A = this chain, B = another copy of it.
Amino acid sequence: MNTKDDFSDLKAVYINCSIKKDKTGSHTQNLLNKSAKIMQSQGVEVQHIYALDYAIAFGMMQDGNTEGQKDDWPDIQKQIMQADILVIGTPIWLGVKSSVATQVIERLYAFSGEYNDAGQYAYYGKVGGCVITGNEDGIKHCAMDLLYALQHIGFTIPPQADCGWIGEAGPGPSYGDIEFNGERVSPDGTPAGYDNEFTDKNTTFAAWNLMHMAALLKVQGGIPALGNTKDGWKQVVNAQSENPEYR
Contacts and interface: CB of A to CB of B under 8 A. Distances in A.
Contact of A21 (B35, B59, B140): B59
Nearest to A244: B33
Which A-B residue pairs are the 4 nearest by beta carbons? Answer: A208-B227, A170-B198, A95-B140, A144-B148
Given A151-B147, A190-B246, A21 B93 contact: no
Interface string A198-234: 1111011101110111001100100110111000010
Nearest to A243: B194
B171 A162 contact: no
Interface residues of A, number: 112
A96 interface: yes
Interface of A: 4-5, 19-22, 30, 33-35, 37-38, 41-42, 52, 57-60, 64, 67-69, 93-100, 102-103, 105-106, 109, 121, 123-124, 137-141, 143-145, 147-149, 151-171, 178, 188-191, 193-194, 196-201, 203-205, 207-209, 211-213, 216-217, 220, 223-224, 226-228, 233, 236-240, 242-244, 246-247
A191 B243 CA distance: 10
Nearest to A126: B159
Given A137-B138, A159-B151, A4 B224 contact: yes
B168 A168 contact: yes
Contact of A203 (B37, B164, B208, B239): B239
Given A59-B20, A106-B94, A157 B165 contact: no
